[in-house]
Amino acid sequence: MDYKREFLDLLLQKNAFKIATDVGSFFKLKSGRMSPTFASIGALTDGESLAMMKKAYSQAAMDGVRGGVLKDFQYVFGPAYKGINLCALTCEGLYEQFGKNTSYLYDRKEEKAYGEATQGTDASKVIVGAEKFQPGGGILLVDDVITTGQAKYEALDKIKLLGDYTIAGMVIAVDRQESLSDAAGSISAVQVLEKELGIKTVAILTMHDIFTLRKDSLVPDVRRAWVAYYERYGAVRMQ
């Protein structure tokens, strides 16, 4: 839990996670929902932030493997563009903290049609690092915040070009734990990925974690609004 607290402190300090100060300052999400919170991991751009992300992602990955949630892996894949630095940082953190030597992979937005790509496989044209991939390897996915999960499906279509592989699971920074739709019984993007593709996810922080750590510091109106928001849109309930 220490690294989770440290990571949340960093998010708040760098304005990568924002909490409304009152009910009149809620954030409009891409979904159109008015939320008392907003996460933007892209705000973590300085050296201090990168060092903490390296620690938190690698620790969450190893906790996931040791706890049996994630399978073992030899590769870390981050979807372009935000996932590129995440997969590199995760590999570095895994080696520094745990002596686990992994290689990173990420996808290209456009196929490479020159240089080594003209002599390689189809995978090497769309995935950086594909030429070093060994058949049967385990791949850990890393990303920041899942909204709909659509980007994951697109990335998985590209990963298929590697041939024989295993998806070990996924590590994300924040799981908002929101239902994908307003329909009764709707589940979250993380739950959909597990249900449809069997991909299990470890979040450095869930919204329930954040609420638990910060609820005593919230003004009463915002605390009640946060609870009410998850009563309406949540895949979990805040207590």
Radius of gyration of the chain (CA): 19
pLDDT given at position 118: 44
C-alpha 50: how far from its chain's center? Answer: 15
Read off φ and ψ for residue 101, nearest 5 degrees.
-95, 110
pLDDT digits (tens, 9 = 90+) for 120-166: 457 888 999 999 999 999 999 999 987 666 677 788 889 999 999 99
Longest dimension (CA), the chain: 63
Within 10 Å of residue 216's Cβ, how many Cβ atoms? 7
Name the token pair of 63.
Answer: 């906790």
Q: What percent of the chain has pLDDT over 70?
A: 91
pLDDT digits (tens, 9 = 90+) for 197-208: 899 999 999 999
Place of tokens 């329909």: 183
Eight-state DSSP code of residue 131: G
Question: Omega before 233 cis (within 30°)?
Answer: no
pLDDT given at position 119: 46
Domains annotated on the chain, with CATH: 2-233 (3.40.50.2020)
What is the pLDDT confidence band of residue 175, given thresholds at 50, 70 and 90?
very high
pLDDT digits (tens, 9 = 90+) for 26-62: 999 888 999 999 999 999 999 999 999 999 999 999 9
Q: Which of 40, 92, 100 is nearest to 64 (CA)?
A: 100
Q: What's the mean pLDDT in 180-194?
A: 83
The mean of the pLDDT values for the chain is 90
pLDDT given at position 155: 85
